[in-house]
Structure 1
Amino acid sequence: MRSCLRSGVSLLAALLLGAGGASALNVRVLVASAPQLTVRVPTAPAAATGAPGSVGAALPAAALPTQAWTVGVVGAGAAAQLTLNGQPTGSATLYLPPGAGRTVEIAGRAYRGGVHLRAEKGAVQGVNVVDIEEYLRGVVPAEMPASWPAAALQAQAVIARTYVAARVNPAAPYDTCATQSCQVYAGTQAEKPATDAAIAATRAQVVAFGSKAASTYFSSDSGGFTASSAEVWGSEVPYLTARPDPFSAGGPRARWRLEVPLSQVQAVAAQYGVQVGPLSSVTVTRLSASGRPAEILLVGASGASRLGGAKAGGFIRSLGASGTRVTLAGLNPLVIEGSGAGHGVGLSQYGALGLARAGYDHLHVLGFYYPGTVLGTLSAPAAQLPATRGLALAAPVLASGPALPVPDPLAAPLARAGTRAE
C-alpha cells in the first residue's frame, strides 16, 4: 500500500479523469477540518492512473470501498505529511477525483463527487470536489424550505449557483466553505425532489452584471425594505440598493420585540470601543435610506460616543437582534422593536416566497432584488488546469443574456391557486 501512496498520480490527470467532460465545472468546498478525519467511499470508484511526482498522491481507490480511513497529519510546515491509519503517506495532499455517481463520506457526512485532503497548520482539511450542479443539491434545501413554491426555489438555486461561481479561485486551496459563513452545504442528506427539480430547471443560469457573476447576497427577511450594500458594508454596488419590498410581509420575524439588560448593552458598547462610563441613554440619531439606524448616540457619565455606518448595524446585531431595521426605546432594559431577519441586502427569501405566491416566476424574483442585472449562462472552460499549489479550477465563463424583468409591486397580483409555504 505504501508504494501505491508514494507513486501517486498526476494531479492534472486525476482532475481530467474525474471532471466528466469540458462542460462540467467543479467547485471545491471545505467541509471539515480537524486533527484527524475519517474518509469512506461506499461506491467503487474508477481506477486512476498517471505519472509519479504529482502535487498530491492518490488515495488507494481499490481499498476504499471496504474500509474507512483515518487521515491524520505528522510533521510541521514544509515537512508536514498526511497519514492513513497511522502510516505516513509521504505527501501533504491526497486526492480522489469526482466521478459519475460517486459519493464520498467525509467526517461522517456523505457528499457527491470526490475529496481533496490536505495538511494545513497541524490539521487535516477535507475539501469536497464536486460538480457545481451536484453541489447545489446539498445547498438549496439547506438554505430554503423545499416545500416552498417552485419560483422561489428556482430563484434560490440561481443565486446559490452565482454565489459559488463568483468564488472559484485558482490561487486558493478551496473556493467556499459549507457553513453560514459562506452558504450552507449539507451534502446528500439534505437533497429533496423539489429542490432537485428547481436546480435542473435553472441549469447553468446565473445573475450577471458587466459580464461577471453578480454578488447575489440574500437574507431571510428584508423587513419590508431592502438595505443597500453601502449602508451595511460600506461598499456601493449598483444593483444592491435600498428599496421598498412589499412582498416581504409574511415571515415569522416580520415583527418582533427584544428586551436587552443594561449590563449587556454596556458590555457590547465596550466591544465597539465606546468608553463613556455608565450609560444613561442609547438613541438612534440618523436613519439610512432603508430605515435602518445609520448612527447611534451613546451617552454616559463621562461623555458621548457615536456609532455610524456598518458599526451601527453591527451594534444592533451584537445585542441579539435578528435584523437591523429597528427602533430603540428605554435603557434598562433597552427595548428593540424590529422587522425582518438578516442584513437585508439583496434577495429576501420571504420576499421571494411572496412574489412566488403572487404568481411571478423566478426571473421576476431575481429582477426585483437585483435590478439592472441580466440572466447569464455559466459554462466551464475547455480545460481546468491546476495551479502551482494543490487542486484548482480555471475561472468560469459567463455568457450574458436578457435583462431580468422587474415586477410592479403595485400591479394586481397574479393568482396562483394552491401554492403556499409550510
Structure 2
Amino acid sequence: MVYLVFLWRSLTRAGGLSVLMTLLLSSAAWAIELRVAILEGVRQVTISSSTPAQLRDDAGRAIAVSPQQSVAAVFTGSSVQAAGIQGRQLLLEPRDTGLVRVGDRWYRGRLQILSTSRGLLVINLVDLEDYLPSVVGKEMYPSWPQEALKAQAVASRSFALFRCDRERRRPGTLYDVGATVTHQVYPGVSSETASTLAAVAATRHQVLTYGGQVIEAVFHAASGGHTEDSEYVWQKPVPYLRGTPDFDQVSPNFQWTVRLTAAQLRQRIPGIGTIVGFRPLQTSPQGRIISMQVVGTAGSRTISGNELRRALGLRSTLLTVAPEYGNVASQAGQSVPVAFTITGRGHGHGLGMSQWGAYGMALQGYTYDQILRHYYQGVTLSDISNAGR
C-alpha cells in the first residue's frame, strides 16, 4: 500500500504558530486534522485530559498532566502560562484515545492554546471524521431519520473541508472553522449519539463536488417553502446554490409572526425618531428582503435585509410588515403606528440544504444522496481522495 504524505507547516506572526496538516492518501486511508476554534479572546481557561497527557510549549518543554487534573492556562499579555511553563502557544496531547476538556466540555483530539492580541485562542485539533458526529448531533435532531442525518454528515464534511482548504491558503489564519452557528455548531462529545456516529460512519470520506472541486455546502434550518439563488443572499452567483422547492412544511418555523411595539422599534433602529413605515426597495424572486427603507418621524434609513433581520431578531428575511395603529394621536399630522406585525417564513439564509426539508424528504423515503442532489444542483457525491482541492 502506497501512502502519499503531504506535510504543510505554516508559520504565523501570532505566536509563531506552527500548523501541521498531514494528509494520508491511499485506497483505504485519508486523515485530515481540522483546527476548530473553541474559545477566542478569553483571559483564562481551565483544561484537562481524560487520560495521562503531556502539556508542551513552543520551546519543546513538556510536563506530565494526570487524568482529570485541572490546569489553568492564563493570558499574560504576550504569552500563555500554565503549570509552570510559558510560551506563545501550548499544546495538550492526551495518550491513546483520551479526551480533552475546555471548561465543562469534552472534545476528541488535542488542544492548542495560543496567545494573540485579543487574549487566548483555544483550538481543538481533531480528525475530521471524529469532529462530525458532534456537529451532526447539534445541527439536526439525532432522532431524525438516518437518511437526513447522513445528508447532514456529507454536507458538514464538505463545508468543513472547503473552509479548511480556503483558510490554509490565506497567510496568517489560525483556525479553519469556529464552533458556533457562524460556521457549524460543535459542542464536543456531548452531542454525539449512536445515530450520529452511524451516519458519519456510513458516509465516511464522502464529500460533494462540483466541477471536481469540493463545494461550500452551506445549509440552514428551513427556507419557508423555497430555497434561494445565492446572488440574492451573497451577491454572487454560485452554480450549485440555485433555488429549489423545499419540503420544510413540517418545520415549526415554516410560518411565524412577531409583533414589535413602536418603542421597541425605536430602540432597535435608532436615529430616525418613531418608525412609521417599512418600504421594501429590493426583494428576491422568492420574496426575501434585499434592502428595506425604514421611515421615521425624524428621517429615514435604508438597510439590508440581513441588517434588518439582525436588528429585529427575526428568523429570516422572507417577510412582510404591517402597521398597527390603535388609538394614538398623530405626530405633526402624521399617523404613527403603535406597533408593527412582521409575518415571515423559514429560519436562516435560505441557501443550500434546508435541514427541515431534508427531514421532510427522508420521511417521504428519499435517500441521502437524493436529498443532497436536490438542494445542491449539479453536484457529484465523491470520495474525499478523488476530490480536487
TM-score (norm 2): 0.81
Report the CA distance between 1:55 and its aligned residue: 4.3
Report the CA distance between 1:287 and its aligned residue: 3.0
What residue is the counterpart of 2:320 in the other structure?
A: 327
Distance 1:305 1:67 in 2: 55
Q: 1:13 and 1:207, CA in 2 relative to 1: closer, same or farther beyond 3 A? A: closer
Distance 2:288 2:198 in 1: 37
3-state secondary structure, aligned to 1:138: helix
Equivalences for residues 255-334 of structure 1 within 5 A: 255-270=255-270, 277-301=273-297, 305-307=301-303, 311-330=304-323, 331-334=337-340
Equivalences for residues 35-184 of structure 1 within 5 A: 35-45=43-53, 55=58, 57=60, 59-60=62-63, 62-65=64-67, 67-74=69-76, 76=77, 80-85=78-83, 87=84, 89-97=85-93, 100-121=96-117, 123-168=119-164, 169-170=167-168, 171=171, 172-184=173-185
Structure with the higher fraction of residues in strand conformation: 2
State the one-letter code of the partner of 1:161. Answer: R
Equivalences for residues 398-413 of structure 1 within 5 A: 398=387
State the one-letter code of the partner of 1:336. Answer: I
1:255-309 C-alpha deviation (Å, 9 max, x unpaired): 1111111233334444xxxx655433223354311122234333344655544xx
Distance 1:42 1:285 in 2: 56
Q: 1:211 and 1:316, CA in 2 relative to 1: closer, same or farther beyond 3 A? A: same
Given that 1:57 and 1:95 are in contact with CA atoms closer than 8 Å, whether structure 2 keeps it comes out as no
Report the CA distance between 1:399 and its aligned residue: 5.3
Q: Percent identity?
A: 32
State the one-letter code of the partner of 1:292. Answer: R
Report the CA distance between 1:43 and its aligned residue: 1.2
**CA-atom RMSD, angstroms?**
2.9
Equivalences for residues 147-226 of structure 1 within 5 A: 147-168=143-164, 169-170=167-168, 171=171, 172-226=173-227
Distance 1:316 1:12 in 2: 39
Q: 1:22 and 1:150, CA in 2 relative to 1: closer, same or farther beyond 3 A? A: closer
Report the CA distance between 1:22 and its aligned residue: 6.8
1:7-31 C-alpha deviation (Å, 9 max, x unpaired): xxxx989987xxxx97311001111
Report the CA distance between 1:253 and its aligned residue: 1.0
Q: 1:186 and 1:13, CA in 2 relative to 1: closer, same or farther beyond 3 A? A: closer
TM-score (norm 1): 0.75
What residue is the counterpart of 1:235 in the other structure?
A: 236
Distance 1:110 1:276 in 2: 47
State the one-letter code of the partner of 1:24. Answer: A
Given that 2:113 and 2:123 are in contact with CA atoms closer than 8 Å, whether structure 1 keeps it comes out as yes
Q: Are positions 1:26 and 2:19 aligned together?
A: no
Distance 1:339 1:267 in 2: 24
Distance 1:66 1:58 in 2: 21
Given that 1:99 and 1:114 are in contact with CA atoms closer than 8 Å, whether structure 2 keeps it comes out as no
Given that 2:273 and 2:297 are in contact with CA atoms closer than 8 Å, whether structure 1 keeps it comes out as yes
State the one-letter code of the partner of 1:93. Answer: Q
3-state secondary structure, aligned to 1:345: coil
Given that 1:15 and 1:97 are in contact with CA atoms closer than 8 Å, whether structure 2 keeps it comes out as no
Distance 2:359 2:207 in 1: 19
3-state secondary structure, aligned to 1:105: strand
Distance 1:72 1:304 in 2: 48
Distance 1:125 1:214 in 2: 28
What residue is the counterpart of 2:347 in the other structure?
A: 341
> Unaligned stretches of 5+ in structure 2?
1-16, 23-27, 324-336
1:71-107 C-alpha deviation (Å, 9 max, x unpaired): 1132x4xxx232123x3x2421112347642211122
State the one-letter code of the partner of 1:114. Answer: R
> Unaligned stretches of 5+ in structure 1?
1-10, 380-396, 401-422
Report the CA distance between 1:63 and its aligned residue: 3.1
State the one-letter code of the partner of 1:398. Answer: A
State the one-letter code of the partner of 1:36. Answer: Q
Given that 1:256 and 1:338 are in contact with CA atoms closer than 8 Å, whether structure 2 keeps it comes out as yes
1:329-382 C-alpha deviation (Å, 9 max, x unpaired): 114311111111111111111100111011111111111111012212224xxx
Given that 2:163 and 2:176 are in contact with CA atoms closer than 8 Å, whether structure 1 keeps it comes out as yes
Given that 1:58 and 1:95 are in contact with CA atoms closer than 8 Å, whether structure 2 keeps it comes out as no
Distance 2:319 2:368 in 1: 30
What residue is the counterpart of 2:331 in the other structure?
A: none
Distance 1:195 1:145 in 2: 9
State the one-letter code of the partner of 2:311. Answer: S
State the one-letter code of the partner of 1:259. Answer: R
Given that 1:286 and 1:295 are in contact with CA atoms closer than 8 Å, whether structure 2 keeps it comes out as yes
State the one-letter code of the partner of 2:350. Answer: G
3-state secondary structure, aligned to 1:225: coil
3-state secondary structure, aligned to 2:107: strand
